[in-house]
Structure formats: C-alpha cells, structure tokens
Structure 1
Amino acid sequence: TATASVWSRGELVPMPKGHVMGVPGDARAVEGLLSEEGVRRIAADLDLPPTEIGDDIAIGAYVAARMGHEVVDRLVEPLLGGVYAGDARRISLRAAVPALFEAAREHPTLTAAVRAVQRAGA
C-alpha cells in the first residue's frame, strides 16, 4: 500500500500517523517534521477558546487559526492539493472532510475533533 509523504528539510518523509487530511491529532507526532514553534502552536490549540465555524469554513483558515500556518503549508496543503487540486485556504472544510467538519462543531478544540474522527474510524 502507498503511504502519503511530504517534502521536509530536503527529503521526502512519511506523513506522521494520527492525522486527518494532514491535521494532526497530537503535536508530538510532528516533532522533527515541523519547527519547534510549529509543534508548540499545535499544542496551543488545547488552550484556545472554541472557534465558531458556522455553516462552513475554509479548512486552511480554520487550521491556521487553531494550529498555525505551518501546519497548513507543510501538512494540509500538500494533501489537499493532491486530492482536490486547490488552495486549502479556499477549500470548504464541510465539503473536503465532512467528518472533521461535524466533529469540529461538537468539540471545543481542533485536536479533540481530529481525535473524535480517528476514534470513529473515518
């Protein structure tokens, strides 16, 4: 079976486990792939107030607000671009990853939403 990979620091590395369309469910999973600041920014999602996403939101905008631009640029965009041939900051979360959209409406953090999707097996 093929596994997704991303280009990082001059080499192709496997996409870390525990993600939903590039959105990590654990900051530790991307240590060594993202900068230390990027890892800290993911972890900070747990301390942010909930984000109101309404009827829809661009996946890139939502992930950047919760986990930082580095996650969008280095993890989400490469996967979404390969699947949808578009810009993550313009692609609908509801259309691209409906299970994550629904989980994000039910959980206070993006991390919790990703983990809920993983538990559900989506």
Structure 2
Amino acid sequence: MQIHNNTLIAECSSYDFKEMLERNKVKSWLKSVSAFANTDGGSLFYGVNDDGVIVGWDNPQADADFISEMIKARLDPVPEVQLIPIEHEGLNLLEVRVKAGTLTPYYYYQ
C-alpha cells in the first residue's frame, strides 16, 4: 500500500476503503470481511474515503474493539484478522487485514 499526497493508492479487489464505521449497518462491512476470507484475503481501511483520501478516524480503539466483537459474533467460522492502527501525518487509520481462509465458506449471520 502506497500513500501519495495523503491518498492511498488504490482501491482494488483486495482493498476496501471506509470513511467511518457503520455501527448500525454491520452487514455491509462484515460481508466484505467474509468475502476476503473466502478468496485471497484483503484489507478494509477505515479513515479513508472512496477516493482514497485519508480523512482520519476519531476513535480507532473503541471502533477496533467493536469490529473485533462483531466479527466473532456474526461470522461463522471466525476468519483470521489483524487490526492494525496506522498513523499518517497526524491522522489515525485502521487497517482490518483479513487472511485467506482455510475453513471456507465463511458466512455472515445475524
């Protein structure tokens, strides 16, 4: 992943940019986590808008805890993920790195 002028280069099939965490719409981002686990893996970057511009994130620790809890509670089997805080020029980001799964298929359930 490269950063140029506060812009991540570039969104593709193994990256997904999220400006903020949608706590009321967990299905939207958990489907991305399960899709990454069911294929070759990938990362969700929180604090980055759809154009790849780094906008930062206010409360990465609390949101990281929520992400971890939702992955464990709503995906079966639970994929292997890493939550990686990133600081770039005073802005906080969070990378949710999802490894390619060995127990496919991974499902979202409520």
Q: Do these two structures clear the TM 0.5 threshold for a shared fold by scoring above it?
A: no
TM-score of the superposition, structure 1-length normalised? 0.24
Q: Whose helix proportion is higher, 1 or 2?
A: 1
Structure number with greater CO (CA < 8 Å, separation at least 6) is 2
Structure with more of its chain in strand, by fraction:
2
